[in-house]
């Protein structure tokens, strides 16, 4: 009986030892919830950082694209057309007949043919000056009509340029293109104002010369009357109407 108890006790001890000490070749997987949560949070933070970096790179790329658009030049220019129109108007003004748009020449002409000078000199001189003044007036009116015709001829060119510039301004991709289109529109406006000044100048020149001609004619008429009224009376004389044959 004692042997049986001892054998049973020995068997229990060996079994307990076998359970407590696993074989050397066996591996156990241990799950740690805390460590797993920390790993997930770390991975999420790293993913968020990568997403932020991608967003920042996209923003930088967009900024560079916008800068490139703002620095892009306007793909058109109306400067040549405007310069051509201005040159044409200037050419017409420079073709002014007899008395050009020159202060010195105007002073010379008035001192020799207009004003008090119209009533001085011999009869032949006064007649020649009157003829000169008439030619000056006629030429000035012709010059005025030429300038007006030239300015009217610029209207289709200016209209085409204005349409192109407005279209370019509305479709501008950046600030520089919009500014350049605006500057060219201002240049077009300046050219049109120059045409208006040219027309007014040519018309005013013609009117001024005609008014000066009329005033000079009055001065000459007064001198002619004065000369006539101070002559001696009529002296009769023999007049031969036919030959003695």
Q: What is this structure's pTM?
A: 0.64
Q: Residues, the chain, total?
A: 245
Tokens of 30: 């241990």
Q: How far apart are CA 31 and CA 29, in angstroms?
A: 7
Q: What is the pLDDT of residues 78-128, one digit of tens each?
A: 888 889 999 999 999 999 999 989 999 999 988 888 988 888 888 888 889
Q: Is 168 exposed, middle or buried (0-12, 13-18, 19+ CB in 10 A)?
A: buried
Nearest to 88 by CA among 142, 149, 140: 149
Distances (CA, A) of 179 to 70, 71, 77, 176, 188: 10, 11, 13, 5, 14
125-173 pLDDT, tens digit each: 888 999 999 999 999 999 999 999 999 999 999 998 988 888 888 887 7
Structure tokens at 172: 């501008």
Q: How many CB atoms lie within 10 A of CB 208?
A: 14
């Amino acid at each position: 009986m004692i042997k049986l108890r001892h054998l049973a006790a020995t068997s229990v001890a060996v079994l307990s030892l076998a359970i407590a000490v696993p074989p050397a070749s066996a591996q156990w997987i241990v799950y740690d919830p805390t460590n797993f949560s920390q790993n997930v949070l770390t991975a999420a933070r790293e993913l968020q950082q990568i997403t932020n970096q991608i967003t920042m790179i996209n923003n930088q790329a967009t900024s560079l694209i916008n800068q490139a658009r703002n620095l892009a030049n306007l793909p058109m220019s109306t400067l040549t057309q405007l310069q051509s129109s201005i040159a044409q108007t200037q050419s017409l003004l420079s073709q002014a007949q007899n008395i050009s748009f020159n202060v010195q020449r105007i002073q010379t002409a008035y001192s020799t043919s207009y004003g008090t000078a119209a009533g001085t000199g011999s009869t032949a001189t006064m007649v020649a000056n009157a003829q000169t003044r008439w030619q000056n007036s006629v030429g000035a009116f012709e010059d005025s009509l030429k300038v007006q015709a030239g300015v009217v001829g610029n209207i289709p060119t200016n209209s085409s340029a204005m349409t192109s510039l407005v279209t370019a301004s509305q479709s501008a991709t950046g600030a520089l293109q919009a500014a350049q289109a605006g500057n060219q529109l201002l240049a077009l406006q300046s050219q049109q104002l120059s045409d208006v000044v040219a027309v007014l100048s040519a018309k005013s020149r013609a009117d001024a010369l005609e008014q000066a001609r009329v005033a000079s004619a009055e001065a000459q008429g007064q001198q002619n009357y004065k000369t006539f009224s101070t002559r001696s009376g009529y002296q009769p004389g023999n007049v031969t109407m036919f030959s003695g044959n």
